[in-house]
Structure 1
Amino acid sequence: MVGTDNDVATTAGNAPARQDPLGTKPVGRLAVSLAVPAIIAQACNALYTIVDRLFLAHIPQVGDLAMTGVGVCFPILLAVSSFASLVGMGGAPLASIELGRGDRAKAERILGASVAALLVVAIVLPTLLQVFKAPILMAFGASEATLPYAMDFLTIYLSGTVFVQFALGLNPFITAQGRARVAMTSTLIGALSSVALDPLFIFTFGMGVRGAALANVIAQALSALWVLAFLGSPRSAVRLRPRRIRLSPVLLPVLALGVSPFIMQFTECVIQVVFNSSLQRYGGDDYVGAMTIITSLMQLITVFSNGMTQGVQPIIGYNFGARRFDRVRRAYRGMFVVQIALNSAMTAAFILAPAPFAALFTSDPSIASIVVAMLPVFCCGMGIFGIQNVVQCVFVGMGQAKPSLFLAIFRKIILLVPLALVLPHVAGLGTLGVFLAEPISDITSALVAGLLFRGLTPALLSE
């Protein structure tokens, strides 16, 4: 049984679901029905960090320091969630392909092995980070003034790593079935819980950054319980069965495919470290705080980009597995147009009116002036960068790990990190050089992605 939330087809055994909406419903309507809930889900995920910062910034006297301290933790949060992407974004497309082929048993083996891998991550990763968190945070751009806030937040947040792994790592397996509304509900539960608990813990109970972290942990736990309950129920086309939860060789292709989104997200952690440490060196806490605000605003763009790709990817994976290549083409062509248009519209809003966006996060005139000056510079390449988002979505959806991995490495490791380190020294650019690295990398990598896509896709979709 595989289907959208409104139309579920049933089949016997492992026979292909010929009437499954992923393979039969008009691609345009299907993409909208899957992408809109996925975008809402991405918006909910973004709320975890954006809302934390909005509330923390309004703590009397110490709000800007608290917000900056939590911002320094952001690379570690990205690192934790990147391991969930390694497993979930590698396993879910493969499960979708197997559903398209009619092999439900193999899809369930992939899910069970993925759960086992997430459990291992949830034990090992927070243990290491708890031991070394103080020197890591100082290396990541914390100062003596912001370190206590960063330590308080991270200590509590890491205690809920298992919930983060299950909520983020298993939700793609729901989307892979075409059940975008169910996947959206899991993130909606977590986000609304966080929004409700943040002011209660931060202000009413006077817990400050520790309250923000505790609200986050509880919210992720509620989301994880929802995901596990659905995947273990008869409603799920890919059923989570206890006997399947074990490490097995099926993890090898999962990790091979998941390494691309893992690198995309983990290198974002590296980039945030480079940004924060460079800005701390050349500008101090005000510039680190401004970057915290700018990266929060950039999440509003990635909400649409990531939500759209997560919604359309099951269509590509299912139909690629079923060899319905005409539907694959229609899916990615529409996604190119819509994603570039949306990215460009939001980028234009940031460029034309940065001041109101800065005012949402800070009343400090020094930090606000940096945001107003640098936000247009930082985001000006995001419109065309939609090309790379779509190309990577298509490659991952078709199970093509190598080109997707190359694109991830090319933008982050080959371009962005070296540029962020070198440009501040060029012609005395200083902090401006750090902000310029982003648009140069975005535009260059988008053009390379387009050329790679044009060169490889015809052979992959040949009849």
Structure 2
Amino acid sequence: MAVTSEELGSQDIKKLLIKQAVPSSIGILFMSVNILIDTIFVGQWIGSLAIAALTVVLPITFLISSLGMAIGVGGGSVLSRALGSNDREKAKHVFGNQIMMTFILSMVFSVLGLIFSEQMLLLFGAKGAIMKPAREFFIPIIISVPFLALCMMGNNIIRAEGKAKFAMVAMIIPAFVNIALDIIFIKLMNLGVFGAALATSISYFMCFVFVLWFFVYKSELQLNARHLKFQTHILKEITELSFVTFSRQGVVSILAIILNHTLYFYGGEHSITVYGIISRMLMFALFPILGITQGFLPIAGYNYGAKNTKRVHESVIVSIKYSAILATIIFVAILFFAQSVVSVFTNDPKVIAETPNALRWVFAASPIIAIQLIGAAYFQAAGKAKKALLLTLTKQGFFLIPLVLILPHFLGIFGVWIAFPIADVLSTLITAYFLKKEMNIKPITTTDGLL
């Protein structure tokens, strides 16, 4: 049974978190399995070079589509607090402004991506033999990115309403569509990388159809034309918090550029394939922690808007506790089964030899990342844009990028892999400091969101 927005402020936190996090986790699991199987099909049916091509292209498309995710998360925080303070008219205006922002921005950036496709692919590391399959994959995907952006925005609003099960279905649909079409286009019709791109593009559109259906027939936020009109103060609120998420994705894209060029320099095309496998495993293996983080956001945002300090603090503690237990189990599994995992993706002996140890190092600090993820999410849910931005950028921006640039000069390709756990530890320490300081503040005042 779906949770209503009012229940976010009244149900037991542990039960509520489970109700919100389990559907979110299942949705992320299916999305991760989709990307994972897509990579396995591409690696086994086309070749390891095609995995490298996907590793180059996906950061570009996710950068553009993350405009929708950023607007969804940032606006979702504003919307959750509006619902918490029982201001439904503001919540509708927020949602209407989010739709228009996402549509306009994603269309503009998609057109620019088409115009400058060659330059973008080169920038993101499509060197040597990688360029041809990267180009085949890029064009169909970039055309479908506005649909993906609207899906990512809408999915966050569905969760902000407390309808986590519908958000889960929105993530499951493209997974099934993509896997089925992969088999048809790649295996049966032998369309290669273009077939993989076509399958992914159609899956994005089908997700959009479901999200549109939800907001027309199931949502509490029934809009009319006036809600779509831009309002300056609402745009300002959405933009400040959306900038946090988009900055994170922007830094992730910059990291992808640096990683792809560094990996190519020190290890060639096969090292980019290695990271392609690892990046897919990061999303797949950590799905329950990401699900808890997404489930936590509307709970914290609603109760912050209702000025219920006790429930906000309890939601932080419970979310960190559950996430830490799950992350530890995941790390132990990776430690023992890395070799078996890698052999599923490819038969390339170079990739199979290098990937297991690299995978173990990248996951080495995963038991402590719960503090980092929930801590940054708390400040975003509370509307504290500056602190949220600082903590969001610590891992990739302040630590991982400099470490990836410096360590390989002394340690070669191993320097890239060891940079990940070092960045995790440092960013977790900083997040823990700010979060501990915040949790000692008892009252929630009306000016907190400005700090």
Match of 1:202 in 2: 186
Instruction: Show the counterpart of 2:240.
Output: 256
Partner of 1:346: 330
**C-alpha separation in 2, matches of 1:54 and 1:151:** 20
Match of 2:9 among 4, 23, 34: 23
SS in 2 for 1:220: helix
The answer to whether the 8 Å contact 1:362/1:368 transfers is: yes
Q: Do 1:78 and 1:266's aligned partners in 2 also have CA atoms closer than 8 Å? A: no
Counterparts of 1:78 and 1:283, CA distance in 2? 25
Asked if residue 375 in structure 1 is aligned to residue 342 in structure 2, the reply is no
Of the candidates 391, 414, 417, which is equivalent to residue 432 of structure 1?
414
Separation in 1 of the partners of 2:249 and 2:335? 25
Instruction: Give the match for residue 150 of structure 1.
Output: 134
1:243 aligns with 2:243: no
Aligned length: 444
The DSSP-based 3-state class of the residue aligned with 2:154 is: helix
State the match for 1:162 in structure 2.
Answer: 146
Distance 1:147 1:170 in 2: 33
Cα deviation 1:284-337 (Å, max 9, x = unaligned): 011111111111111123322221111121111111111222111221111111
User: Please, what TM-score do these two structures have when normalized by structure 2?
Assistant: 0.95
| Alignment correspondent of 1:137 | 121
Which residue of structure 1 lines up, in the alignment, with residue 430 of structure 2?
448
Deviation digits for residues 253-279 of structure 1 (CA, Å, limit 9, x no counterpart): 111012222222221111122111101
Q: Structure 1 pair 461/309, CA: closer, same or farther in 2 (3 Å)?
A: farther
Residue 273 of structure 1 corresponds to which residue in structure 2? 257
- Could you tell which deviates more after superposition, 243-252 or 316-325? 243-252
Higher-helix-fraction structure: 2
Aligned mates of 2:243, 2:427 — CA distance in 1: 18
Pair 1:461–1:411, CA change in 2 (3 A): farther
Match of 1:49 among 18, 35, 41: 35
Alignment match, 1:12: none
Give the AA of the match of 1:446: T
* Amino acid paired to 1:114: Q
TM-score (normalizing by structure 1): 0.92
SS of residue matched to 1:380: coil
Matched residue, 1:334: 318
Gaps of 5+ in 2: 446-451
Residue 385 of structure 1 aligns with an amino acid whose one-letter code is I
Q: Distance in 1 between matches of 2:205 and 2:72?
A: 17
Aligned in 2, Cα 1:119/1:193: closer, same or farther, shift over 3 Å? same
Q: Secondary structure at the match of 1:199?
A: helix
Instruction: Kindly state the Cα deviation for residue 354 of structure 1 after the two structures are TM-superposed.
Output: 1.0
Tell me if the contact between 1:78 and 1:268 (Cα under 8 Å) persists in the aligned partners.
no
What is the CA distance between 1:348 and its match in structure 2?
1.9
CA distance in 1, matches of 2:316, 2:86: 23
Q: Which residue of 2 aligns with 1:33?
A: 19
| CA deviation profile, 1:223-257 (whole Å, cap 9, x unmatched) | 11211221233x31222434322333111111101
The one-letter code sitting in structure 2 at the alignment partner of 1:246 is: K
* TM-superposition CA deviations, 1:105-162 (whole Å, max 9, x none): 0000000000000111221111111122222222322222111111011100011011
Instruction: Judge conservation of contact 2:170–2:207 (CA < 8 Å) in 1.
Output: yes
* Aligned partner (choices 32, 49, 61) of residue 65 of structure 1: 49
Which residue of the partner structure matches residue 90 of structure 1?
Answer: 74
Residue 11 of structure 1: aligned partner: none
SS of corresponding position for 1:353:
helix
| Distance in 2 of aligned mates of 1:144 and 1:229 | 44
Secondary structure of 1:239 counterpart = coil
Percent identity reads 28
Structure 1 residues 134 and 273 mapped into 2: Cα distance closer, same or farther (>3 Å)?
same
> Following the alignment from structure 2 to structure 1, what is the Cα–Cα distance between the partners of residues 427 and 248?
13
What is the CA distance between 1:96 and its match in structure 2? 0.8
Structure 1 residues 299-308 or 446-455, which shifts more? 299-308
Conservation of the 8 A alpha-carbon contact between 2:66 and 2:149? no
User: Following the alignment from structure 2 to structure 1, what is the Cα–Cα distance between the partners of residues 288 and 387?
Assistant: 23
Residue-by-residue CA offset, 1:332-369 (whole Å, 9 max, x unaligned): 11111111111121122112221011011111111011
The within-5 A match list for 1:367-446 is 367-426=351-410, 429-446=411-428
2:449 aligns to what?
none
